[in-house]
Chain A
Amino acid sequence: MKKILVISGPNLNLPDTGETSTYKESSLEEIHVRLKKKAAELGMEVDCEQYNSEGDIIDRIQQVPGTYAGVVLNAGALAHYSYSLRDAIGTMRVPCVEVFMSNVHAGEEFRHKSVVAEVCVGTISGFGAHSYVLALEALANLT
């Protein structure tokens, strides 16, 4: 069974601030429940994790090869400046889908640029919790 790692970055554990505030429906726990259900439908398994520390995410990304067939990553603010995260993703050779709940292009200018996008298969942004679900479907569709 295809195993997928879902990682959410800094501040995404907070229910009412940052990105999640745009989407009243879902706390991260609720999103994780939804993802586990969707994964089962797709015949996949997911582990869902959240870290506020850049280094913790890099550690997890480095452990991906051999264990996971793909990664769904909402790097939060790290997406816009973490070259070390970019390097970790670029090195692992496992498909990674970048997601954002908000439309990053509609917000502050520093959020328009993602330094990890280039090393990901693709990007999905703007659809709230559904961005994660679509990313899972995208990974399921990859051969």
Chain B
Amino acid sequence: MGSRRIAIINGPNLNMLGRREVGIYGEKNLDQICDEIRHEGEKYDISLDFFQSNVEGFIVDYIHSCVGKVRGIVINAGAFTHYSIALRDAISAVRLPVVEVHISNIYKREAFRHVSFIAPVCLGQICGFGSYSYILGLRALMETLDEADREC
């Protein structure tokens, strides 16, 4: 197991991937996507913790529990992205590097999805590349962590 732990968090309805609006989200289910992320993770000296919940409070609890345990987070907060101030506050509170990802291009969709409440407290945002958004998100996070470690 790697020395650095990274948390991969998925929000509401992402457990339905592969069955839900496949035209938007693709045909892969969440387990398949997690396997792809695991495969990418093998390139780095890391271990990955996966968490998915449909409950906003559980995600807040989980983010709090990351303090002291993980080095960074890749999060697809699903629809919570667009309205959960509690999630934003949790991310801001833990002071961990967080990368926001989305499977779909949220800017091509309904206007309410164009705003992300969590984006200002994240390192950055990656959206529109299908399940590959998670892979790019993990790479972005690792680049940031490697850079921070080099500066130490």
Contact = CB atoms under 8 A, between A and B. Distances in A.
B26 interface: no
B129 A138 contact: yes
Contacts of B139: 134, 137
Contact of B126 (A120, A122, A142): A122
Interface stretch (A13-21, A54-62, A110-118): A110-118
Given A122-B133, A123-B107, A124-B136, A105 B116 contact: yes
B108 A127 contact: no
Interface in B97-152: 99, 105, 107-108, 114-116, 119-129, 132-133, 135-136, 139-140, 143-144
Give the interface centre of B107, B120, B143 by most chain A CB atoms within 10 Å: B107
User: Is the contact region of chain A dominated by helix, strand, or loop, or is it mixed?
Assistant: mixed
A121 B105 CA distance: 7
Contacts of B125: 103, 105, 123-126
Contacts, number: 77
Interface string A85-107: 00000000000000000010110
B110 to A, nearest CB: 12
Interface residues of A, number: 23
A105 B105 contact: no
A131 B129 contact: no
Contact of A130 (B121, B128, B140): B140
B128 A134 contact: no
B129 A141 contact: yes
A118 B108 contact: yes
B124 A126 contact: yes
Interface of A: 103, 105-106, 112-114, 117-118, 120-127, 130-131, 134, 137-138, 141-142
12 contacts: A105-B122, A112-B115, A118-B107, A120-B128, A122-B133, A124-B140, A126-B122, A131-B124, A137-B136, A141-B129, A141-B132, A142-B129
Interface of B: 99, 105, 107-108, 114-116, 119-129, 132-133, 135-136, 139-140, 143-144
Given A118-B105, A120-B128, A141-B129, 15 more contacts: A103-B119, A105-B116, A105-B125, A106-B119, A118-B107, A121-B128, A122-B105, A123-B127, A126-B99, A126-B125, A127-B144, A130-B140, A131-B124, A131-B140, A141-B135
Which 3 residue pairs across A and B have the least CB separation, nearest first? A126-B124, A122-B128, A105-B119
